[in-house]
Structure 1
Amino acid sequence: MSDPIKSEAYGGAEMGMSQVEHAHNADLDEKAAFAEYKADAIEAENAEHNMTVLEAVRAYPMASFWAFIMSFTIIMESYDVFLIGNFVALPAFQEKYGVQQSDGTYVIVTKWQSALQVSGQLGALIGVFLAGPLTSWIGYRWATITGLMLLNVFIFAFYFAESMPVIFVAQLLEGLPWGIFIANAPAYCSEIVPIQLRAPATQMLQMFWAIGSIIVGAVTYVYNPIKHSDAYKIPIALQWMFPTPLAILMFLAPESPWWLVRKGRLEEAAKAVVRLGRKSRARPTETVAMMRRVVELEKTEKSPSLLELWKGTDRYRTLIVCGVYAAQNLTGNLIANQAVYFFEQAGVTTNTAFALGLITSALQMIFVMLSWILTSYLGRRTIYVWGTLINTGFLVALGIAASIGDPKAHSASLAQASLGLIISVLFTLGPAPASWVIIGETSAIRLRPLTTGMGRAAYYIVEIPCIFLGSYMLNPTGGNLGGKCGYVWAGTGFVCFVLAWIWLPEMKGRSYREIDILFRRKVQARKWKKTVVDVNDDE
């Protein structure tokens, strides 16, 4: 007869051993799963590193297409910004809303010229702060579709406006969806393409900015001789060409797989990866594992917040995005945005000014495409830093050209107009397109919608007073400086060059994991290029 006490003890021991073995096996399974997941992540990251640009295009053709569609949303802000810039030089608009001068011509007074230039930017400033939380909540697609539908409505207000205050309010309302587009586009484009395509995908934003100005330049050049309201009403109405078709395309677009991984929707993320690449070459399991690895590195218990942007290493990353965005207004961009009016004030005829504005926009588009090659092979920091310095030199030359001899002489006018054109075009070869790549790459993945929104807010906060300053410097009823404004922008441009040289790192060819690690290690900006990050590092 067996001893019940001994049997119970033996059974308990056996059960205890079973639990230990079960826990041990579970631990082994977990370690094996982690090892497999990390191996997949490493394989996907290595595959991206080893691709050439052409191989990346072949492997991810639809990613390039959807980046193109998202970039197209920028055309609407560009169109309207250049439209307002051209309206202040349009005779029919001047006669309707301007003040008659002693020589019989009409001029939009400085306060309204500046107010019109900043109205859309004020709305966009509000829009970018709405974009971050909205995109974090509903995703890039639905946030963009919402903005496009709102824009359809707000164009009505602009079209039927008959006074300066109503135009100001209509422009402010149009600015709200602009803020959503400009905050989302660089983030979405940088997230849906592999490493080798991040530069051209985000630089398309600058190309569409140029295309918007080309359309405006062509339309206002055609309607410039017309002396009734059609000269400005038709260009306003043409804005309706864009929002609805783009909203339909964005409805069909895949959501960013990075956003889906952040939300824990891994199956949907894998499907999005398949939609972005060729099915024969897509490796969704490995790609999603790579994304999970980065998201896990950045994971915290708290939801992303604006306050988090200003803590720890994220503060440095936020300052880079804000600084690069803000610097666009301080290195010659405002001359580009007010090109037609600048050419007029430099002394050329109205028709010539509109023709030069159109030529400038066409050259900008060509130079943006050239910048794809330069940024892909030379790097972001190199193009941005030295491009800023070169532009600063031309701004000084512009100031000198306006200071020597009779500023109203034909030769002086041509010199100033030529330098204004060169500055506007070179800006789109170096600092401008490189800045879009930097903006798309710098922020942490989990904070990206908030960081790009904050960066664009910095752009508008700097741009608004700069517009007032720029308008005052050019306007005959203000400072009437003409090309001498080059001295002012050369001073601000040089400050931007120095700050970028000290603090802007080179992120060319880096995965988001490597970028996270280099920021956390606090590697000096000028040493990023030579710093090696092991493929197995998780920090």
Structure 2
Amino acid sequence: MSTEKDLMDGRHEIAQVESANTDYGAKKDLMNTNTMEAEKAEKADAVEAENLEHAMTVMEAARAYPMACFWAFVMSFCIIMESYDVFLIGNFIALPAFQDKYGIIDQATGAHVIAAKWQSALQMAGQLGALIGVFLAGPLTTRLGYRWATLIGLTAMNAFIFVMYFANSLPMFFVAQLLEGLPWGIFIANAPAYCSEIVPLRLRAPATQILQLFWAIGSIIVGAVTYVYNAKSGASAYRIPIALQWMFPLPLMVLLYLAPESPWWLVRNKREEEAQRSIERLAKKSKLNSAEVVAMMRRVIDLETSDKSPNYIELFKGSDLRRTAIVCGIYAGQNLAGNLIANQAVYFFEQAGMTVNFAFALGLITSALQAIAVILSWGLTTYFGRRTIYLWGTGFNIVMLVCIGIAASVTQTTGAHYAQAIFGLIVSVFFAFAAAPVSWAIIGETSAIRLRPLTTGIGRASYYIIEIPCIFLGSYMLNPTGANLGGKCGYVWGGTALFCWIVAFFYLPEMKGRSYREIDIMFRRRIPARKFKDTVIDAQEDD
């Protein structure tokens, strides 16, 4: 009996185990089914959100995302501080009071001039500091987010202005510029990335191009201030323009403290509920579903999934190497295709034979025309591709730069001097109309979402690496105590601009109207640059 009972108990236990296994298997199948259904639903949400962005016009996107436009405006305003100081130190070199205090006697004319080595050093110091700043910006932003990284930069900027204000020697001005450059690096690395991430597809170009507008506005403010003070003697002629830098950081600190974080950054850091709230602050709730937008973002980020924290080494591996090269090339090209003449406009006009007052007035006019050109460029990028605008804009400036060289090579009459000044003005304005603003759109669109803070940082580093020797070269070519080439430097910059045009023709892809998912897929598939425009990517494709 005992044996039969044990046998029956054993069979009962086996039946229970088999039943439990059956229930577990059924539950597992149900869980897998539910997971698959959830994934399908999430992908459908992601596709819906992406299709909605594709279907929007520019005006519909602006109406749907009014606060995103506002916060892009606020973040871009940080660039005005770099622009202001870059043009300020460039104008100080041509400012009589600054020349009298810190210059040397030019034996040929008997006038005071800033020595070529110090002219180059002062203009290079801020860029050297910014070069360090952009390498700080990438890890800082990756860890803390765009808002807090920028707030740290603004706090530092407030402090470093004191150093410049109380500087009383050229070495002190050099140190002050170096220190101010550190937060510049943070601003310039973060602004295009943040702006491109908080707006929908149709607004990426206008939101990033506004950076060039604030660059122009910074130069307008400097032009107006130095135009007023260029006739004054004494330290106030340059101390007051320095002190005016304090009007920017504090209001921006208050606004950025209140700003929403980039939802893309939040999704990258697994903070999806916060990302939804951020989207709801950026857009009208009636115009979109924030959960669908987060699903779209997660879909793109999943394509770039990695267990490692983002690091600089990744920028030089696989398809990211190509993307890094494009961003670095576009940034570097800004210095080689006319930007140096734009940044040294007043000094260039003086060396072209204009009087001091007229040179400052012409510099102010140039800055105002640049601002108008940037605004007009928004319409240009709405209807034409980034690649098209960059190639045609750079091509036109090559011709104008060569024309400057020709005007400087003929017998120097008043007409030849005015011709150099006019061609220089055209280069500066057309650069702000075409190549410069579209560069920001390219920079914002090219980098992978996961690596964006690092890519924009190292891209801007390439800008400074090229700019620093170009400043020395440009100052040496223009300075009477250097090569004294005057407008003949147009031949040099025309040659470098031609090099940029050739490289862009073969390697710059067209990304107008593309979602970040489509851009990711095309880079992964190694689509040639000139075939990007015609490549079709289905809404359901993930690789």
- Shorter-chain TM-score bucket reads over 0.9
Which position in structure 1 is the counterpart of 2:328? 322
Tell whether the 8 Å contact from 1:384 to 1:435 is kept in structure 2 after alignment: yes
**Which letter does structure 2 place at the counterpart of 1:229?**
A
Could you tell me how far apart the structure 2 residues matched to 1:38 and 1:252 are?
A: 32
Which position in structure 1 is the counterpart of 2:527? 523
Which position in structure 1 is the counterpart of 2:66? 61
Query: Is 1:507 matched with 2:511?
Result: yes
Shift of residue 6 of structure 1? 2.5
List per-residue Cα deviations over 1:135-189 (Å, max 9, x = no partner). 0000000000000010000000000000000110010000000000000000000
Query: Is 1:210 matched with 2:216?
Result: yes
TM superposition score normalised by structure 1: 0.99
Shift of residue 375 of structure 1? 1.1
Q: How does 1:148-297 map to 2 (within 5 A)?
A: 148-297=154-303
Which position in structure 2 is the counterpart of 1:49? 54
Could you tell me how far apart the structure 2 residues matched to 1:5 and 1:317 are?
A: 66
Q: 1:70 aligns with which of 70, 75, 79?
A: 75
Which position in structure 1 is the counterpart of 2:398? 392
Could you tell me how far apart the structure 1 residues matched to 2:496 and 2:504 are?
A: 12
**Which letter does structure 1 place at the counterpart of 2:456?**
T
Query: Is 1:132 matched with 2:138?
Result: yes
Shift of residue 101 of structure 1? 2.6
Tell whether the 8 Å contact from 2:106 to 2:481 is kept in structure 1 after alignment: no
**Which letter does structure 2 place at the counterpart of 1:243?**
P
**Which letter does structure 1 place at the counterpart of 2:190?**
N
Segments of structure 1 that go 5 or more residues without pairing to the other structure are none
List per-residue Cα deviations over 1:466-524 (Å, max 9, x = no partner). 00000000000001111100000010000100000100000000000000000001001
User: What secondary structure does 2:471 align onto?
Assistant: helix
Shift of residue 395 of structure 1? 0.5
User: What secondary structure does 1:509 align onto?
Assistant: coil
Could you tell me how far apart the structure 1 residues matched to 2:122 and 2:382 are?
A: 37
Query: Is 1:459 matched with 2:463?
Result: yes
Could you tell me how far apart the structure 2 residues matched to 1:166 and 1:232 are?
A: 14
List per-residue Cα deviations over 1:188-244 (Å, max 9, x = no partner). 000000000000000000000000000000000000110111110000000000001
- Cα-Cα RMSD: 0.8
Tell whether the 8 Å contact from 2:131 to 2:461 is kept in structure 1 after alignment: yes
Tell whether the 8 Å contact from 1:273 to 1:282 is kept in structure 2 after alignment: no
Could you tell me how far apart the structure 2 residues matched to 1:280 and 1:191 are?
A: 21
Which position in structure 2 is the counterpart of 1:92? 97
Shift of residue 422 of structure 1? 0.3
Which position in structure 1 is the counterpart of 2:106? 101
Which position in structure 2 is the counterpart of 1:39? 44
**Which letter does structure 2 place at the counterpart of 1:280?**
S
Tell whether the 8 Å contact from 2:137 to 2:457 is kept in structure 1 after alignment: yes
**Which letter does structure 2 place at the counterpart of 1:136?**
T
Could you tell me how far apart the structure 1 residues matched to 2:512 and 2:123 are?
A: 35
Which position in structure 2 is the counterpart of 1:436? 440
List per-residue Cα deviations over 1:318-365 (Å, max 9, x = no partner). 000000000000001000000000000000100000000000000000
List per-residue Cα deviations over 1:381-422 (Å, max 9, x = no partner). 11011111111111011111111122xx21111000000000
Shift of residue 376 of structure 1? 1.8
Tell whether the 8 Å contact from 1:297 to 1:538 is kept in structure 2 after alignment: yes
**Which letter does structure 2 place at the counterpart of 1:174?**
E
Tell whether the 8 Å contact from 2:395 to 2:501 is kept in structure 1 after alignment: yes
Query: Is 1:487 matched with 2:491?
Result: yes
List per-residue Cα deviations over 1:73-115 (Å, max 9, x = no partner). 0000000000001000000000000012343311001000000
Q: Percent identity?
A: 67
User: What secondary structure does 1:445 align onto?
Assistant: coil
User: What secondary structure does 1:530 align onto?
Assistant: coil
Q: How does 1:399-478 map to 2 (within 5 A)?
A: 399-406=405-412, 409-478=413-482
Q: Which moves more between the two structures, 205-214 or 4-13?
A: 4-13
**Which letter does structure 1 place at the counterpart of 2:64?**
A
Shift of residue 7 of structure 1? 1.8
**Which letter does structure 2 place at the counterpart of 1:244?**
L
Could you tell me how far apart the structure 1 residues matched to 2:209 and 2:465 are?
A: 23
Q: 2:500 aligns with which of 496, 500, 503?
A: 496
User: What secondary structure does 1:538 align onto?
Assistant: coil
Q: 1:360 aligns with which of 343, 350, 366?
A: 366
TM superposition score normalised by structure 2: 0.98
Could you tell me how far apart the structure 2 residues matched to 1:319 and 1:11 are?
A: 64
Tell whether the 8 Å contact from 2:268 to 2:301 is kept in structure 1 after alignment: yes
Shift of residue 279 of structure 1? 2.4
Shift of residue 315 of structure 1? 0.3
Q: 1:15 aligns with which of 11, 20, 41?
A: 20
Could you tell me how far apart the structure 2 residues matched to 1:393 and 1:378 are?
A: 22
**Which letter does structure 1 place at the counterpart of 2:72?**
A
Could you tell me how far apart the structure 2 residues matched to 1:288 and 1:420 are?
A: 47
Tell whether the 8 Å contact from 1:398 to 1:486 is kept in structure 2 after alignment: yes
**Which letter does structure 2 place at the counterpart of 1:5?**
G
List per-residue Cα deviations over 1:404-461 (Å, max 9, x = no partner). 122xx21111000000000000001111001000000000000000000000000000
Could you tell me how far apart the structure 1 residues matched to 2:381 and 2:69 are?
A: 17
Shift of residue 5 of structure 1? 2.8
